[in-house]
Amino acid sequence: MLLGKPPAGKRWPRGQKFTLSASGAAAEEDYRVAVTSSRASGRAALDSALAAWAATRGLAPADGVVLSELNGKRLGLAALCESLEPAGIVADEVRAAIGRLVAAGVVDPLPPPSRAADQRVL
Count CB neighbours of 49 within 10 A: 21
Residue 5, pLDDT score = 37
How does pLDDT run across 111-121, given as a tens digit for each residue? 877 655 555 55
Q: Catalogue the E-assigned strands of 15-67.
A: 17-20
pTM score, whole prediction = 0.82
Sheet strand arrangement including 17-20: 75-76, 17-20, 107-109
CA dihedral 64, 69, 74, 80 (to 10 degrees): -100
User: What is the pLDDT, as a whole number, of residue 7?
Assistant: 43
Task: Name the strand (E) or helix (H) holding 54.
Answer: helix 43-55
